[in-house]
Amino acid sequence: MLINLLRLLPPETAHQITIKLLKSSLSISRKKIEQYNALKQTILGIDFVNPIGLAAGFDKNAEVIKSMLSYGFGFVEVGTITPKSQKGNQKPRVFRLKEDEAIINHLGFNNSGSEKILKNLRSFYENEYLSGVVGINIGKNKTTENDIDDYIYCIDKLGNYGNYITINISSPNTPGLRDLQLRGRIENLVKKIQKKQNEVEQLNNKPIFIKISPDLEDEQLRDIALMSLANNVNGLIISNSTLKRPNSLISIFKNELGGLSGKPIFIDSTLILKKMYSLTNGQIPLIGVGGISNGNECYEKIKAGASLVQLYTALVYQGPQVISKIIRELNGLVLTDGYKNISEAIGKSS
Ligand SMILES: Cc1cc2nc3c(=O)[nH]c(=O)nc-3n(C[C@H](O)[C@H](O)[C@H](O)COP(=O)(O)O)c2cc1C
């Protein structure tokens, strides 16, 4: 009902209202969800009550972590956060492709900046909070000259306030950002981050995930896999939104500028997830993201090699109740296949 009303508003206005409403809304879904023992896993030393996380971009400023955990998410990734606040690109910059169950956005890392978001994270931990995993997704400011300095700055400042850190080098809306995925540059970035982690004791045990684009060629995927294995990268998130426009799109907004997310990216993002699982010999935890809207698609990502999954666009079309629905479906699928725990299904179709 409310979701239908929100959909009458421009996407960004609807998002702002949603965040306001969520700030004062807690769901009772979580208690039930915590009983699904087959979905519990410990990955990189972190306990996840279920494998479904909120993808970056929904809670850019870490304002609704508690609420999203209460709806049942096993983890919430906040951000992308940049050192300084920035407004992002000119509006309109978010488009709903309703007929395609997709979104195109060219927001450009609009966020309140590390200082303000640090305060939000502190207040989340200071107030009574639901146990749950928080990921801190970081990026660079648009006008920064030295990209690496921005990542190091954010890790130093915010790294201690999350269970893991995501290095976002795959958003399509910050000029030059995706070039950080190039061989050599990505390795340099990883080495500098690890050096920082070694210098700061509290950051030492924070796993680092690198979030990659679904538009990478096979050779680039191989380079990233080899670099990750050689440098003990903790995990990879596959994937961000795509610059491609599948022929299947029918919405009038299909040629808008920016990254496409939602249903039309499910197949391609799952394919590169599968490739990466095989290139890394299943040795590196992968988070599968892209086009998940039901339990079955979630299970497909797991079987393709994901240890965890995330979603965003389905939330826009189905509202936060979608989480408990997906979790229930996923639990059923795991048990029907005769597994005691979801971890037994990881990579089973690869
Ligand atoms: C409006 C919007 C904003 C996003 N902002 C970010 C962001 O700031 N950082 C990031 O890493 N990914 C961002 N994403 C990408 C999502 O985290 C996710 O990788 C992508 O949407 C694919 O998942 P989905 O099909 O379930 O939406 C954004 C996606 C959308 C739709």
State the distance from the centre of ligand 1 to the C-alpha of 56, rounded, in angstroms. 6
CB-ligand 1 contact for 41 (6 Å cutoff)? no
- Residue of 75, 105, 136, 241 to test ligand 1 pocket, by largest number of atoms within 8 Å of CB: 241
Highest-confidence segment of 155-159, 177-181, 299-303: 299-303
Q: Is 29 inside any structural domain?
A: yes
Q: What pLDDT shows up at residue 345?
A: 98
Catalytic residue among 171, 213, 269, 293: 171
- pLDDT for 118 equals 97
Q: Establish if 223 belongs to a structural domain.
A: yes
Does residue 284 sit within a domain? no
Nearest CA-CA partner of 203 in 151, 165, 150? 165
Q: Does residue 285 register a pLDDT over 90?
A: yes
For residues 38-66, one letter each, b for 16 or more C-beta atoms within 10 angstroms of the residue's C-beta and e for the rest, the string is bbbbebbebebbbbbbbbbbbbbbbbbbb
| Sequence-ordered list of residues with C-beta below 8 angstroms from that of 54, at least 6 positions apart, any chain | 68, 73, 75, 76, 77, 310, 311, 312, 315
Check residue 187 and give its pLDDT. 86
Instruction: Write the residue with the smallest CA distance to atom 13 of ligand 1.
Output: 57
Query: Does residue 307 carry a catalytic annotation?
Result: no
- Tell me the residue type at 255: N
Instruction: Mention every residue, 6+ apart, whose C-beta is less than 8 A from residue 85.
Output: 111, 112, 113, 115, 116
Across residues 251-265, what is the average pLDDT?
Answer: 97
Q: Does the pTM exceed 0.95?
A: yes
Q: Looking at residue 1, what is its pLDDT?
A: 64
Q: What token pair was written down for 224? A: 């990233």
Q: Which residue has the higher pLDDT, 125 or 7?
A: 125
Does 2 score more than 80 pLDDT? no
- Enclosing domain of residue 126: 2-33+45-259
- Of the listed ranges 178-187, 189-198, 308-317, the least confidently predicted one is 178-187
Q: Would 128 be classed as within a structural domain?
A: yes
**Does residue 236 lie within any of the structural domains?**
yes
pLDDT recorded at residue 160: 92
Average pLDDT over residues 178-199: 86
| Residue 93 placed within a domain | yes
Contact in structure between 241 and 55 (CB atoms under 8 Å):
no
Would residue 173 count as lying in a domain?
A: yes
Count of the separate structural domains present in the chain: 1
Question: What is the CATH classification number for the domain harbouring 220?
Answer: 3.20.20.70
Asked if residue 337 belongs to a domain, the reply is: no
- Of 218, 217, 268, whose CA–CA distance to 242 is shortest? 268
Q: Dihedrals φ, ψ of 76, to 5°?
A: -125, 125
CB 53, CB 309: distance < 8 Å: yes
